[in-house]
Amino acid sequence: MDASLVLAEADDHLSILKEPLVGEEVAILTDAPNVPPQITRKHRTKMVVNLEVTEVVKRMADGVDYTFWTFGGSVPGKFIRVRQGDLVEFHLANHPSSKMPHNIDLHAVTGPGGGAASSFTTPGHESEFSFTALNPGLFVYHCATAPVGMHIANGMYGLILVEPKEGLPKVDKEFYVMQGDFYTKGKYGEAGLQPFSMEKAIKEDADYVVFNGSVGALTGDNAITADVGDTVRLFVGNGGPNLVSSFHVIGEIFDKVYTEGGLGTPNKNVQTTLVPAGGSAICEFRLDTSGTFILVDHSIFRAFNKGAIGMLKVGGGDEATNKIVYSGKTDDRIYQPEGGAIQIIPQTARKPAKAANKGERIERGKITYTQVCSVCHQANGKGIPAAFPPLAKSDYLNRSIDDSISALVNGIAGEVTVNGAKFNSIMPKLDLSDDDVSNVLTYVYSQWDNNGTEVTPDMVKKVRAKAVKPLNTGH
């Protein structure tokens, strides 16, 4: 990038900060597919955003429920709209019924972690921080509490729009559409309350790929609507956590696409636009004829077999003119999900690290601990109070080797008591080989005044075979 452009942008940021701050507003937050009103004011203000985190059981598909972790009670989270230069005072509350601590990383924030460190909030607490919206654009926000992928995969993402100082051009209709991929223990359509599968998430083997949090969230009676002649603006986001979206509206061509959420010069006459995980796009088009237009991820099996499908129903217009634009008749039925079996592609097994003795187990276990465990339990093994239990001098670990192994290979949920303190969070099932588990536990047992046990792969195999469930009490 030209150095003069960098300096110009830096000067622009400084000039924004010198503008007077006038008044205060409480942000209007909306659930998808709705969008807050366009901003018409021409000055900076203090914008107060109040957002609550809740963990709720909701519909994933017909007959299928899922425990979503949400910003505001729905997936995606609330749409936030501010103006470039606004001082955003952000309040993040974590409902007392939550089992996990949460935070928020807003890609619109200029500052470490996008606000994540400043907003770490345990259940029953509220955090506050502020930032100045320096850059205009459409930005993703998401939870960044460890394990980050699990929080995002459970639905903790949304969009924040920073309108430019001059505002966005007026359009007739604006809608909020956000894609996400979900990973469940049961296959697509398997009935009941489905738990999250860490194993599938790591393999990026999604059971559901959906718009706005569930299969059918934008179809049938839930379809978005407009009229012939309307100009439409779609704020499109992709929470991921893994898959890139190939966003397309069947039967329409985007007149303008602001790629990756930036508000520079748009691409024109675009058929399909890529929306990266953790990214966005703004798609604008004029409706020239009536009918039902189908929104899809054009990685097409995701649309017809995993749920990434929506509808834009367009009415009105002069019949003769409509027929000139397109003479045929739209039939919704041809676009209904086809069902069918999901193809299974064999996975190449990961070769486990082989350690010949206790010293090598400790050495290799330290690597695994640093890569997998330290974000929650910390490099010193002391954990995070009220969030993640300590591994240092842990009565839980030293009481039962089998329970410790089972916690890694089977996961653990519910209240546990460690060193006299109660914790009520979730330890996900980890995708670790028998050797990895033996190495990392041998390392942990050798540290921080633990009892020095050497855990072998054979010990891990025996626990897997018995499917031992770890204790969840201090007794």
Q: Which parts are annotated binding residues?
A: 102, 107, 142-143, 151, 156, 298
Annotated binding-site residues for Cu cation read: 102, 107, 142-143, 151, 156, 298
Q: How far is CA 154 from CA 135, 193, 199, 377, in A?
A: 28, 14, 14, 21
Strand partners, 310: 295
Q: How many CB atoms lie within 10 A of CB 159?
A: 29
- State the residue for tokens 């008749």: 329
Residue 110 φ/ψ, nearest 5 degrees: -95, 105
Task: Please give the Cα distance from 326 to 70 (Å, whole number).
Answer: 41
Residue 445 φ/ψ, nearest 5 degrees: -65, -25
Task: Please give the Cα distance from 457 to 210 (Å, whole number).
Answer: 39
Task: Please give the Cα distance from 120 to 108 (Å, whole number).
Answer: 18
Q: Is the peptide bond before 457 cis (omega within 30 degrees of 0)?
A: no
What is the distance of C-alpha 429 from the center of its chain?
A: 19
Terminal-to-terminal C-alpha distance of the chain: 62
Task: Please give the Cα distance from 218 to 265 (Å, whole number).
Answer: 30
C-alpha count within 13 angstroms, C-beta hemisphere, residue 187: 7
- The region, left, alpha or beta by phi > 0 then psi within -120 to 50, assigned to residue 350 is beta
Q: Is the peptide bond before 33 cis (omega within 30 degrees of 0)?
A: yes
Q: How many residues does the chain have?
A: 475
- The helices-and-strands tally (H runs, E runs) of the chain is 11, 25
